[in-house]
Structure 1
């Protein structure tokens, strides 16, 4: 029996094969291969010509797909950069407090709902948009000319957040240096502290009349309890208990609070109306923070993609070390249960749902253009769905992990001091620079735990800072490609300008100014930008068309085994309806439930918040007037490339990757 013939073999198979048949078959194979080679050369030449006309270049076989902009060296570089962008300070010092405040384990229900229906779809949309267009936030919106100013808004938001975010890093660096001592400086009341510093005070449980150096106020109604000032100042009456303190208008304050107010930030010596003198020590820490950013970004993604191997992974090493130590402390189990106990009645409060939605944006860093920037350096065939799911799941479990770590230590603090746990819980700057420093003073080898914690904060901040600064640099380079020749100079110049602006926050009144930046630079305007993103992609460009484009990049299977033809309908529904609806409701509620900015329990001046409202509004209003400035009118070449690659329609002006476009028509599959 004859064996089947392999048309691509170099020799005949089967007993009855002849030399003539072999020669004929070999000739046919050579002709076919020659035709295929010719077709590939023609396609390559066409792609090169289109790239040259658009000011781009192509590198094949082991190099960057886009030699002009560059690509990530490896897939792990991109994943860790996205993970570092998403996992930031908000996971450590904001999520645990919100979880406790809004019902403990019950808070995970609205948090997961917004993560699934809003956060994840927008996260994936931004990654897909950046990867498909190979452009940053300034140039990727050309398919919707009326909304191209969104790119300007995103770049402006990233720049404003980067300015104050590095100041937070400077605070962490300051505390890191202060931890290199045998005795932590905030573990006692030094000469810098006020008279109500808590370690100066002690309770006297005997009759007050015969004790020297005791001040007694018979009108306070404390039933004869005496409070002795250790230094013998007769005119002092200080009480640590909150209720008793309120009755006599004195509140004893912990050493860490005093240290923050009078040494590290010195915020008691200035205000937003009177910033006070520039502090040289904090200014040097800010300069060091910007130097770290510059050195990491000096070669763009090629250098930052390697730095993130440390900055993105080191925080997890520290978290697991702190987790093991925290869970072995007395009172840790009570603290963790206090965090996770479900209080289902809280779900009836609208504030709980608003906090969950806002935390999703803080946590995933959507709406600021950073994700678009990172994905724009991807290779065209990267599985963007896989990366989205990996980053989102990692970010969620990081939030849970940090919550368990924080509350295990807070449970220990409550156990040591005898204070109710709800009295020691706080968020934001207070958690990082007051509560945790106070916790470590109760531990053996306290400087070691302080060093680990603040080094973790520095690395968490660096990851997010890389993305925000790179967003600004990429926007400039996309708009003016000739600037790519001077990337190092561009990074140094931008960092210098933002450093000089940030110096205003290195003053005694700086913390109040930072609060204004934090409340208005990246809050509701980021939500507004996310809603407009959904409208632009799903309703102007077309959600089904965009899903088709993603299928071209990923192929028929995503995440290795999931058919994109089936799963894409979920994303289409979220982009077109669910996500923008969720965001619009939360954004309106945020406006209705607006509360003025506060610092240390006092409301900041009205004039400062009015100016911040104006600046925040301008960040979104940029969509209206910036389109004539930020993007040149699309050319005929743009239209030809668009019609040949993206949607076969008249959506002119969309910038495509240099490596496509001819293969698109043959690879796209119908809906």
Structure 2
């Protein structure tokens, strides 16, 4: 058995954990969620969800990883041999995410290059869908390979491979020590220039003006809980793997709390960055902000390029935004891949370099499908089902299993043994009731919507193939990986024995 690596410093671990939590969703999802759900009033349920669910769950995962010193499958199998499948289900979910998440990073990389000349032209919408993506007729028609996206995906996988291949200290920690300060610096510079634009203050009013009547709507509270959960990288193997590399005397509670606060603080900065630009765009067009606001892919690759075209310093704003988007994506991508590699190393006793090559190579091959003309459709469907069911189900089962059927007092004692501040009965209440309730409600709402309406109007055959059957296949594969007589494990063990001889 190989000796487990450790982080070189507390700051290195915090930056890596923050790098995992801060991703594309912080930039293009949180601002729109706040705007749509009561503006400034949304911050109340958001912070309540952060304190009652986000921080407690993060502390739990840091405690589990630190105590059991392993990846998600190893941790759950150590607690109960019957639950190893849950860890593998979370790891497989990570693998699926990696294969399509890298495509969006590829888009960001290409738009970073385009931003030097505003290469998206006068009509960013037409450029994005027709010229850049070469969008096909639907998810069942892949169309042609888009070479610029393909090449960017190669680079993105290369960065992830370098980080994972070179190890915790030499790769992941070192890159995040560069990525995270640079990301915050770029966002702050963007905000500094953005706030000088005409209409920027009006944009922030649209974002932060409170509509307290919205607090009476249940959907606002579930949206806040969902945003906290999805933006923290909890419940799907990542933080378990990262915290397993913590040194013996690490401060669990403090590290977890700092990670959550920094992540949520960045979301607020992203909101200021985005809505200052949307306010300027609305002022130039002479329309209210509500007519230009959007989220997700449309915000990043259509609305923002349109706004950048109107700005007095388009190259500066374009370069800052798309480089920030790229770095946020890469830092999350690295953590996703590490969660998978860590599990393979634990299960198969495979050296890091061999495991990194296997996972990154296989992931790259599969991700090529998202660089085709039908890639956006596939990405949209897969992302919807993975987020609403893969992550939610895995996280819900994890927290219920640990909180209700394990000795939570034992984990609490381990956390308090090395933490600056102790967690008590309130933390246990949040873990046993508040967090599971929030996850369950979001899961029920998602299931109800998908059973009553076809997601985004896609044909049922596409939703069945790339949604429901994909989830079923992930579960079957997870169960297969728990088999003690796993043929793949025997082959790898035999290969390792041969190499040693």
- Normalising by the residue count of structure 2, what TM-score does the alignment of the two structures yield? 0.92
5 Å-filtered alignment, 1:352-431, equals: 352-431=220-299
The residue number in structure 1 matching 2:362 is: 497
- Within the alignment, does 1:606 sit opposite 2:460 as a pair? yes
Equivalent-residue separation in structure 1 for 2:49 and 2:446 (angstroms): 16
The residue number in structure 1 matching 2:119 is: 185
In the TM superposition, residue 620 of structure 1 has moved relative to its aligned partner by: 5.0
The residue number in structure 2 matching 1:529 is: 394
The residue number in structure 2 matching 1:570 is: 426
The residue number in structure 1 matching 2:165 is: 298
The residue number in structure 2 matching 1:615 is: 470
Structure 2, unmatched stretches of 5+, are 488-501
In the TM superposition, residue 443 of structure 1 has moved relative to its aligned partner by: 1.6
1:121 corresponds, among 44, 53, 56, to 56
2:415 corresponds, among 544, 550, 559, to 550
Equivalent-residue separation in structure 1 for 2:79 and 2:28 (angstroms): 39
Q: Describe the SS at the equivalent of 1:148.
A: helix
Does the 8 Å contact 1:479/1:631 carry over to 2? no
1:581 corresponds, among 420, 437, 462, to 437
Q: Describe the SS at the equivalent of 1:512.
A: helix
1:166 corresponds, among 102, 105, 118, to 102
- Within the alignment, does 1:326 sit opposite 2:194 as a pair? yes
Does the 8 Å contact 1:543/1:575 carry over to 2? no
CA root-mean-square deviation: 1.9
5 Å-filtered alignment, 1:34-113, equals: 55=1, 68-113=3-48
- Within the alignment, does 1:154 sit opposite 2:94 as a pair? no
Does the 8 Å contact 1:152/1:630 carry over to 2? no
The residue number in structure 1 matching 2:494 is: none
Show CA shifts across 1:270-289 (max 9, x none): 42121111122211111111
Q: Describe the SS at the equivalent of 2:74.
A: coil
Q: Cα gap change, 1:518/1:158 in structure 2, threshold over 3 Å: closer, same or farther? A: same
More helix by share: 2
In the TM superposition, residue 625 of structure 1 has moved relative to its aligned partner by: 6.3
Equivalent-residue separation in structure 1 for 2:214 and 2:454 (angstroms): 24
In the TM superposition, residue 314 of structure 1 has moved relative to its aligned partner by: 1.3
Show CA shifts across 1:156-184 (max 9, x none): 01000011110000001111122233xx1
In the TM superposition, residue 404 of structure 1 has moved relative to its aligned partner by: 1.1
Q: Describe the SS at the equivalent of 1:180.
A: coil
5 Å-filtered alignment, 1:480-519, equals: 480-481=348-349, 483-484=350-351, 487-519=352-384
Does the 8 Å contact 1:147/1:623 carry over to 2? no
Does the 8 Å contact 1:84/1:308 carry over to 2? yes
- Within the alignment, does 1:592 sit opposite 2:455 as a pair? no
Query: Looking at CA atoms only, which structure, 1 or 2, has the larger radius of gyration?
Result: 1
The residue number in structure 1 matching 2:493 is: none
- Higher RCO (C-alpha 8 Å, min separation 6): 2
Q: Cα gap change, 1:536/1:430 in structure 2, threshold over 3 Å: closer, same or farther? A: same
Structure 1, unmatched stretches of 5+, are 1-54, 57-67, 189-254, 633-671
Larger displacement relative to structure 2 (519-528 or 322-331): 519-528
Q: Cα gap change, 1:273/1:621 in structure 2, threshold over 3 Å: closer, same or farther? A: closer
Show CA shifts across 1:94-115 (max 9, x none): 0000111111011112222222
5 Å-filtered alignment, 1:310-325, equals: 310-325=178-193
In the TM superposition, residue 431 of structure 1 has moved relative to its aligned partner by: 0.7
Show CA shifts across 1:580-626 (max 9, x none): 1232233222222335332xxxx222111112112224445667665
Larger displacement relative to structure 2 (272-281 or 408-417): 272-281
In the TM superposition, residue 154 of structure 1 has moved relative to its aligned partner by: 0.8
Q: Describe the SS at the equivalent of 2:72.
A: coil
- Within the alignment, does 1:275 sit opposite 2:142 as a pair? yes
Does the 8 Å contact 1:528/1:620 carry over to 2? no
